[in-house]
Amino acid sequence: MNFKHKYVFLFPGLFVLIGILIFPIIFTIRLSLSGWNSYTPEMNFIGITNYIRLFTDDPRFWESFFRLSFLSVTTVILQYIIGFALALIVWREIKFKRFFRVIFLIPMMTTPVIMTVIWRTFFHESLGPVNDLLGNLGVKPILWLSDPVIAKFTVIIVEVWQWTPFMFLLLLAGLLSLPKEPFLAAAIDGASPFRKFVYVTFPLMAPISIGAIIIRLIEASKIMDTVFVLTSGGPGTATETSSFYIYIKGLREFQMGYAATLSFTYLVIMIISLTIIAKVLTKLMIKE
């Protein structure tokens, strides 16, 4: 068999890669250099006009990006802490261990949009049960969705509830795969549970933790459905995130060219920032 013929077998995979990854990126870049919108429905060429507009005249995009950074970092930190704690609980020999493992996974298995609708009903300020319950305890109604600061925390609550199970699942898998010897050695040395966690469990879990955090950060940075259903980015622009803003520009205002510019810029920023975050986390959490 001719050696070169082996490359033929790469073609199917290559075509798929070009079709689902390379082509959309190239198309997005080309679209970002056009002024395609509702009144100019064509792939004309306007150079870097859209990029100039983004970097000089669109503070709303940057505000939404910094808001997204706050929301995603906060939610992922909370998910990590709670997910780790839950994983540690069911890692031990406790009663109904299997039952709890399944229970903790339920939020992740529900459909985000539908659950957000239910959360929105819970947090409805005049008709929802949360304020009703608080009222019975003598607490004044809380503006869960209409106060610019509280609304951000409402989004965080929903995101943490929905996605902590994912963190829990990864971390539990990590815990179950840890070698037994270091724990036996620590037990023989008489280490307290706290010292065992700090000096044995946490360092051994570091590579898995970094992986879990990065995966969740990538997912959290695309937050759209929760914001869309829960607050529509409001009140004002208080909960508007980058992806929601790009959606508004592209599919509400039909500024296709400009939305492509936002999307491509966002992609570049995310690749750079997540690479930096991964390196920093590796340096902080994994000791040679």
**Residues of this chain that bind other proteins (CB under 8 A):** 35, 37-39, 41, 57, 60, 124-126, 131, 141, 143-146, 148, 231-238, 248, 251-255
Tell me how far apart the alpha carbons of residues 246 and 262 are, in angstroms, rounded to a whole number. 6
Q: Which is nearer to other proteins, 232 or 275 (CB)?
A: 232
CB distance 269 to 65 below 8 Å: yes
Q: How far is CA 249 from CA 8, 48, 198, 238, 256, in A?
A: 42, 18, 47, 17, 7
Nearest to 56 by CA among 281, 278, 272, 265: 265
Nearest to 228 by CA among 120, 69, 153, 149: 120
Q: Which is nearer to other proteins, 231 or 263 (CB)?
A: 231
Q: Which is nearer to other proteins, 26 or 251 (CB)?
A: 251
**Least Å from the CB of residue 127 to other proteins:** 8
Q: Which is nearer to other proteins, 43 or 278 (CB)?
A: 43
**Least Å from the CB of residue 174 to other proteins:** 40
DSSP single-letter state for residue 43: -
**Least Å from the CB of residue 110 to other proteins:** 21
**Least Å from the CB of residue 259 to other proteins:** 11
Q: Which is nearer to other proteins, 38 or 136 (CB)?
A: 38
Q: What is the DSSP string of 62-90?
A: HHHHHHHHHHHHHHHHHHHHHHHHHHHHH
Tell me how far apart the alpha carbons of residues 45 and 156 are, in angstroms, rounded to a whole number. 41
**Least Å from the CB of residue 160 to other proteins:** 21
